Amino acid sequence: MNHPSPVRMETVGNVLIVTLDRPKANAIDAHTSHLLYQAFLTLKVEPDLRVGVVTGAGSRFFSAGWDLKAAVAGEPVDADWGPGGFAGLTEFFDIDKPVVAAVNGLALGGGLELALAADCVVMADHAELALPEATLGLLADSGGILRLRDRLPRAIAVEMILTGRRMGAAEAGRWGLVNQVVESAILLESAIELAQRIADSAPLPVRASLELLRETEGKSVREGFKIMRGGLHFYDRVSASADAHEGPLAFVEQRKPNWKGR
């Protein structure tokens, strides 16, 4: 008997939608982590794809994180999660195309780490976020501690990390941890709309901007300029690109630009 894949892919225009579908909690084992990486790799390598959206099936769980049943059955904490790290994205640093997380329900532990690895987050108004690892004798070492520290006031981040308390959508919105909080019924539509607005921008500057953000994270402005001027793959291609000519021309001619991505 063939079992359906726990990771589904579909495209809407130039947006790739990746859906994690592992009832009941969309938990992630090593096999699923590898499948998620393959989906995000598809986004990276397919030239017609501009932006990814990752979400969970159903409305109760975005993802409960690491599959603790697999853990009890013997899957180690340091299992081979694949080249992109846990959930396929948490250590996929050179994906170079933006990902929007559509958080449709509980994002717990590694589920929150997956959402934090995305570039933008749209969250359903009933959803909640938490890092319960410390209460389970574990550590949120797939980016949860590192990324939450950088996106919340330290005291709030420490409280969540050390106590596992849940943060609701309204609070996440107040802290700027998410881009939008929307009703569940329009969550995916809203995430795709945001992804499409990103995709409407010139693809090369989008990739160069992500590259620059990644390479200068944690650096001072002075250090950032040094890195930027020192040579970056996408950054160095922008000024001489066809799209750098097309953008101003389309503006002057009052038409929509025809981006080539080069």
**b/e 91-112 (16+ beta carbons within 10 angstroms → b):** bbeebbbbbbbbbbbbbbbbbb
Give the pLDDT confidence score for residue 77 in this predicted structure: 82
Whether 149 and 86 have beta carbons less than 8 Å apart is answered as no
What digits encode the pLDDT tens for the residues 11-20?
A: 999 999 999 9
Low-confidence ranges of the chain (pLDDT < 50): none
Give the pLDDT confidence score for residue 194 in this predicted structure: 98
| Residue extents of the structural domains in the chain | 7-199, 203-252
Give the pLDDT confidence score for residue 2 in this predicted structure: 61
Q: 171 is written with which tokens?
A: 């609070």
CA distance 245 to 258: 11
Give catalytic residues, as residue numbers: 113, 133
Global confidence as pTM? 0.96
CA distance 234 to 230: 12
Q: Classify domain 7-199 at the CATH topology level.
A: 2-enoyl-CoA Hydratase; Chain A, domain 1 (3.90.226)
Give the pLDDT confidence score for residue 75 in this predicted structure: 86
Give the pLDDT confidence score for residue 112 in this predicted structure: 98
Whether 20 and 28 have beta carbons less than 8 Å apart is answered as yes
In Å, what is the CA distance from 251 to each residue of 247, 255, 258?
6, 6, 11
CA distance 113 to 244: 35
Give the pLDDT confidence score for residue 167 in this predicted structure: 98
2 secondary structure, DSSP code: P
Give the pLDDT confidence score for residue 152 in this predicted structure: 98
Give the pLDDT confidence score for residue 238 in this predicted structure: 94
CA distance 41 to 19: 15
In Å, what is the CA distance from 179 to each residue of 8, 26, 101, 118, 262?
24, 23, 10, 11, 29
